[in-house]
Structure 1
Amino acid sequence: MFSSHRTLKRRTPAQGIDRREYIGHLVDEYYTTTNIEAQQQVTANLANFAYDPINWSHLLEADALDVFVASLETQDQLLKVHGIAALCNLCLDKTAAKFIREQLKLLTGLFVRTDHPEIVLHSLALFYQLLEFGERTERDLLLSPAVLRTVQEWRVKAHDERIVKLCQLLLQDFATRTEVVQLQKASPNVPTAEQQSSEAGASG
């Protein structure tokens, strides 16, 4: 059993180990270890592989997407961050995107309940990409009233400008005018996304 990247490297044969095999070892390690820090190391490594499209086929073949989904169902915040970050990067792959869309209930539930800014950031980026490249019929599944309310809340309270901007873009590009009006009525003292954008431009 490999307990860390260092251990795996030490046990690697002198002639080396190819990327596909290494990713497979990491996936196996996630399921065989009971050490949370080892799982964090594994998901961090797998998430790093997800940043490069050259690794996507290897991750799919090794069933790494199941690891990322499993990490979202844990109680550990760091595992959740790694899982959602990886899915965000992988969603541009058509096969991965289909798998991810089957997890929309889990993903939106996580977004609505979390108070972790990094999870929110990656969730917003993931939602935007799914909406941008997906079927219009999926919009209602993804942008439920609960999700829209949460987007509005983070648009107001977030200190991270990346989160604020993504919230604005989601509302501007994918929410209907009626939904935006309803959100505004629910929070009458909160400026609309368009007003915030205008104010930001005027102050710039």
Structure 2
Amino acid sequence: MFSSQEYLDKKTGPYGIGRLSYLQSLVTEYEETSSDDAKRQILANLANFGYDPLNYDYFRQLNVLDMFLDALEEEDEKLVEFGMGGLCNVCLDKQNKEYIVKNDGIDLVQKCLSRSNVETKVSALTTLMFLICPESKKDILTSDFAKEMLELAESSNLRLSNLANIFLKDYFDENHVEEARKSLQTL
């Protein structure tokens, strides 16, 4: 649910913990805990807070985007899933998109397509669609990526297949797709 500052102030009351303080406590707990389960729960909570644009300034202030990006390189598949989900939730915001692109986010997100977790792959594909802009097009819409989309288009998972087909139809020109298809056939 999208919130307004007025709604949050009313909901919190004069003596409640504010949103920024609450998010700060989550970030601090994530950084200090040694429990893998706690890290998963906290990152999932932060990813869920990414649905509300009111939190974007707080996320930037608390370096939550870095937490999401760092999670993509973890071995724990759930941390990767929640980090990827968090990025997917925040990347439509212009400032967040620019930050993700400038901080090697495209490469990190593309690497998530080779993960085994379907939710991670779905979020990665969706995030890449959201990250496409004139500045990032050349980094995302490569020949290798077109080949990867052709392979995912054949996936038995309908969500992956549909997203890959949408990517191929909406973002690549037909010549690019045909070249990638020919290249795959020669392998």
Shared fold (TM-score, shorter chain, > 0.5): yes
Structure 1: gaps (5+ residues)? 1-13, 189-204
CA offset digits 1:34-91 (Å, max 9, x no partner): 2111100110110010012222222222111111111111101111111111111101
Structure 2: gaps (5+ residues)? 1-13
Match of 1:61 in 2: 61
Match of 1:128 in 2: 129
Higher alpha-carbon Rg: 1
What does 1:145-184 correspond to in 2, within 5 Å? 145-159=143-157, 161-184=158-181
What does 1:64-75 correspond to in 2, within 5 Å? 64-75=64-75
The one-letter code sitting in structure 1 at the alignment partner of 2:175 is: T
What does 1:25-44 correspond to in 2, within 5 Å? 25-44=25-44
The one-letter code sitting in structure 1 at the alignment partner of 2:52 is: D
1:123 deviates by 0.8
**Deviating more after overlay: 168-177 vs 36-45:** 168-177
Match of 1:140 in 2: 138
CA offset digits 1:153-196 (Å, max 9, x no partner): 1110132x3322221111111112222112332456xxxxxxxx
1:15 deviates by 3.3
The one-letter code sitting in structure 1 at the alignment partner of 2:162 is: K
Give the TM-score of the pair, scaled to structure 1: 0.77
> What is the alpha-carbon distance in structure 2 between the residues aligned to residue 99 and residue 32 of structure 1?
25
Match of 2:6 in 1: none
Secondary structure at the counterpart of residue 15 of structure 2: coil
Q: Percent of counterpart pairs with the same letter? A: 29
What does 1:64-143 correspond to in 2, within 5 Å? 64-102=64-102, 103-111=105-113, 113-131=114-132, 134-135=133-134, 137-143=135-141
The 4+ residue runs of structure 1 with deviation greater than 6 A are none
Count of paired positions: 170
Q: Does the CA-based 8 Å contact 1:40-1:78 persist in structure 2?
A: yes
Cα distance, 1:158–1:119 mapped onto 2, change above 3 Å: farther
The one-letter code sitting in structure 1 at the alignment partner of 2:28 is: D
Secondary structure at the counterpart of residue 156 of structure 1: coil
The one-letter code sitting in structure 1 at the alignment partner of 2:98 is: K
CA offset digits 1:137-164 (Å, max 9, x no partner): 42121122332222211110132x3322
